[in-house]
Amino acid sequence: MNQETQTKIEAAVFRRFLKHLDDHKEVQNIDLMILADFCRNCLSKWYSKAAEEEGESIDYDQAREIVYGMTYDEWKKNHQAKATPEQLEAFNAK
Protein backbone atom coordinates (compact mmCIF):
# COMPACT_ATOMS: atom_id res chain seq x y z
CA MET A 1 0.00 0.00 0.00
CA ASN A 2 1.38 3.41 -0.87
CA GLN A 3 1.55 6.26 1.64
CA GLU A 4 -1.23 8.30 -0.01
CA THR A 5 -3.67 5.39 0.13
CA GLN A 6 -2.71 4.63 3.72
CA THR A 7 -3.28 8.27 4.69
CA LYS A 8 -6.70 8.27 3.02
CA ILE A 9 -7.68 5.09 4.85
CA GLU A 10 -6.43 6.45 8.18
CA ALA A 11 -8.37 9.68 7.63
CA ALA A 12 -11.53 7.71 6.84
CA VAL A 13 -11.07 5.61 9.98
CA PHE A 14 -10.61 8.75 12.08
CA ARG A 15 -13.78 10.30 10.64
CA ARG A 16 -15.67 7.08 11.35
CA PHE A 17 -14.27 7.03 14.89
CA LEU A 18 -15.47 10.60 15.49
CA LYS A 19 -18.90 9.67 14.12
CA HIS A 20 -19.01 6.65 16.42
CA LEU A 21 -18.23 8.86 19.42
CA ASP A 22 -20.85 11.34 18.23
CA ASP A 23 -23.42 8.55 17.90
CA HIS A 24 -22.65 7.47 21.47
CA LYS A 25 -22.80 10.70 23.41
CA GLU A 26 -23.89 8.66 26.43
CA VAL A 27 -20.27 7.53 26.73
CA GLN A 28 -18.73 10.12 28.98
CA ASN A 29 -15.12 11.22 28.87
CA ILE A 30 -14.52 9.73 32.30
CA ASP A 31 -15.72 6.36 30.97
CA LEU A 32 -13.20 6.58 28.14
CA MET A 33 -10.43 7.59 30.56
CA ILE A 34 -11.21 4.68 32.87
CA LEU A 35 -11.31 2.10 30.08
CA ALA A 36 -8.81 3.39 27.55
CA ASP A 37 -6.78 6.14 29.24
CA PHE A 38 -7.84 8.75 26.66
CA CYS A 39 -10.92 10.84 25.99
CA ARG A 40 -12.34 13.34 23.53
CA ASN A 41 -10.19 16.06 25.09
CA CYS A 42 -7.08 13.94 24.51
CA LEU A 43 -8.06 13.50 20.87
CA SER A 44 -8.45 17.26 20.62
CA LYS A 45 -4.97 17.83 22.02
CA TRP A 46 -3.50 15.27 19.63
CA TYR A 47 -5.35 16.89 16.72
CA SER A 48 -4.04 20.35 17.60
CA LYS A 49 -0.49 19.01 18.02
CA ALA A 50 -0.60 17.14 14.69
CA ALA A 51 -1.86 20.29 12.94
CA GLU A 52 1.00 22.28 14.48
CA GLU A 53 3.50 19.68 13.26
CA GLU A 54 2.13 20.20 9.74
CA GLY A 55 2.46 23.99 10.03
CA GLU A 56 -1.25 24.59 10.61
CA SER A 57 -2.65 26.70 13.40
CA ILE A 58 -5.56 24.91 15.06
CA ASP A 59 -5.86 25.75 18.71
CA TYR A 60 -7.25 23.43 21.38
CA ASP A 61 -10.75 24.95 21.30
CA GLN A 62 -10.93 24.64 17.51
CA ALA A 63 -9.74 21.04 17.74
CA ARG A 64 -12.34 20.29 20.43
CA GLU A 65 -15.06 21.65 18.16
CA ILE A 66 -13.88 19.27 15.42
CA VAL A 67 -13.78 16.28 17.79
CA TYR A 68 -17.02 17.07 19.66
CA GLY A 69 -18.91 18.30 16.59
CA MET A 70 -19.88 21.40 18.57
CA THR A 71 -18.30 23.79 21.02
CA TYR A 72 -17.16 22.27 24.28
CA ASP A 73 -19.59 24.50 26.19
CA GLU A 74 -22.47 23.14 24.08
CA TRP A 75 -21.27 19.59 24.72
CA LYS A 76 -21.07 20.11 28.47
CA LYS A 77 -24.50 21.75 28.59
CA ASN A 78 -26.25 19.11 26.47
CA HIS A 79 -24.38 15.85 27.04
CA GLN A 80 -21.99 15.86 29.98
CA ALA A 81 -23.31 14.17 33.08
CA LYS A 82 -21.85 14.59 36.52
CA ALA A 83 -19.42 11.80 37.31
CA THR A 84 -20.81 9.20 39.65
CA PRO A 85 -18.97 8.23 42.84
CA GLU A 86 -18.23 4.87 41.18
CA GLN A 87 -16.71 6.54 38.12
CA LEU A 88 -14.58 8.83 40.26
CA GLU A 89 -13.40 5.90 42.35
CA ALA A 90 -12.46 3.89 39.23
CA PHE A 91 -10.71 6.89 37.71
CA ASN A 92 -8.77 7.68 40.87
CA ALA A 93 -7.73 4.02 41.20
CA LYS A 94 -5.82 4.21 37.90
- Domain-by-domain residue ranges, the chain? 3-92
The answer to pTM > 0.75 is yes
Residue 94 has pLDDT above 90, yes or no: no
Amino acid at 72: Y
Task: Give the CATH superfamily of 3-92.
Answer: SMc04008-like (1.10.3340.10)
Q: Using one digit for the tens of pLDDT, what is the confidence trace for 36-91?
A: 999 999 999 999 999 999 999 999 999 999 999 999 999 999 999 999 999 999 99
Instruction: Count CB atoms within 10 A of the CB of residue 47.
Output: 19
The answer to whether 13 and 24 have CB atoms below 8 angstroms apart is no
Q: Using one digit for the tens of pLDDT, what is the confidence trace for 5-29?
A: 999 999 999 999 999 999 999 999 9
